[in-house]
Amino acid sequence: MHLNINEANKIFRKSIIKGFFEPELLNLDFKKSPVKHPSITDDGLMQSDLLHVFFDVETGSDYPDGDEWFIVELLFPHDVKLPDSLKGTDYFTTLSIEDGKTYWHHRELIRYKYGKSKKLLDALDFLESKYKELHELLEPLQKDLK
């Protein structure tokens, strides 16, 4: 069986996510998310209903170095108006879903391999710190979600 680079990178990315990132996040008090992402079919993880982590194995999988990184999507699955201070590429941008509703999401490149060295723990630390940073920014909105 011969795999093209796109297929091989998707398999490699999924194995890194399922074999390392998901178990490590579960050790950090994440749990399976009940939220379904509008475009990513795999399940996500969360520590609270405010912010959900999804792994995008598709974007960039056709790149020659696509076995060294993937995109993580941090989803705020609530159709609410965000303050302008939380909008933009550093924070959240809109994600249109059905019925004219809008969720908010933030995408980050997670590079876990540099040349011959794997930096899985560094990548995990970055992902966890980004989750905490964005979650903290969303906490004042929690009262409006009830």
Per-residue pLDDT of the chain (146 residues; tens, 9 = 90+): 677 999 999 999 999 999 999 999 999 999 999 999 999 999 999 999 999 999 999 999 999 899 899 999 999 999 888 999 999 989 999 998 888 889 999 999 999 987 777 899 999 999 999 999 999 999 998 887 76
pLDDT recorded at residue 1: 65
pLDDT recorded at residue 99: 83
pLDDT recorded at residue 2: 74
pLDDT recorded at residue 146: 62
Q: What is the 3-state secondary structure (H, E, C) of the chain?
A: CCCCHHHHHHHHHHHHHHHHHHHHHHHCCCEECCCCCCCCCCCCEEEECCEEEEEECCCCCCCCCCCCEEEEEEEECCCCCCCHHHECCCCEEEEECHHHCEEEEEEEEEECEECCEECHHHHHHHHHHHHHHHHHHHHHHHHHHC
pLDDT recorded at residue 104: 96
pLDDT recorded at residue 98: 82
pLDDT recorded at residue 29: 95
